Amino acid sequence: MSGDYSRIAIVTGATSGIGEATARKFAAAGFGVVGNGRSAAILAAMEKEIGPAFRGVAGDASENTVLEKLFAAVKERFGKPADIVVANAGRGLGGSVKDADLSQFDELLKINVTGTLALLQKAARKMADGQQSAYPKSAADIVIVGSVVGRHISPFSAVYGATKFAVHALAEGLRREVGPKGVRVTLVEPGIVLSGFQAVAGYSDEMVHGFHEKFGPLLTGEDVANAIHYVVTQPPHVNISDIVVRPTRQDYP
């Protein structure tokens, strides 16, 4: 099985938005993909539509048992370890420091920071040793989906942005740690993406309409997936460590 695929990828948050688009882009490019999301039904539909190049693992990406299943599914389905891990699972939370709903903050931290850190740690441990002998003949990539609000503080999403500031720090710390071992680490920072993200984050219809009016056309998941695909298809000695992708008319953040 493994000989049929040029790269093997794990993608979290693969049932919608950027994650789904990335999983589909990778499969179309000849990669084997194990995707994670909370909806077993959506993953099953994707398996049927995409075919043997995609395997779904349902569950919460912040749970250690689910992460273990992801890496096990890669070996079981494709017969070799993943050489791409895309840490994309996460959720938003609208509101300023003064007004944010802090009853949701623990869940926000768990999925955006704690769960991402656990995935990064597992990926780094599994990739680093093997890549020291494989580099520079082959590439290994850890891609972290951050946000422009993890780069520029935005009052309307400052609490969510704080979790992305944390993730950005983890990404840069990891790059400095495993880059010398031949593992590339890339932080992808999207601007406003057209997806279900805003509804989950609790943004009002009025605010979302304002995004369209002020910044549209907004990015799609496919736009960001194209950037991620570009990053992982560079020669092994080339690491695009940070990439910011915004709608053309989005001046801030």
Residues designated catalytic: 160
What does the DSSP 8-state code read for residue 101?
-
Cα 93 from Cα 181, distance rounded (Å)? 36
Cβ atoms 66, 60 nearer than 8 A = yes
What are 244's two structure tokens? 């910011």
**DSSP characters for 200-237?**
HHT--HHHHHHHHHHHPSPB-HHHHHHHHHHHHTS-TT
Helix (H) or strand (E) holding 243: strand 242-245
Cβ atoms 187, 241 nearer than 8 A = yes
What are 217's two structure tokens? 């056309």
Cα 82 from Cα 72, distance rounded (Å)? 10
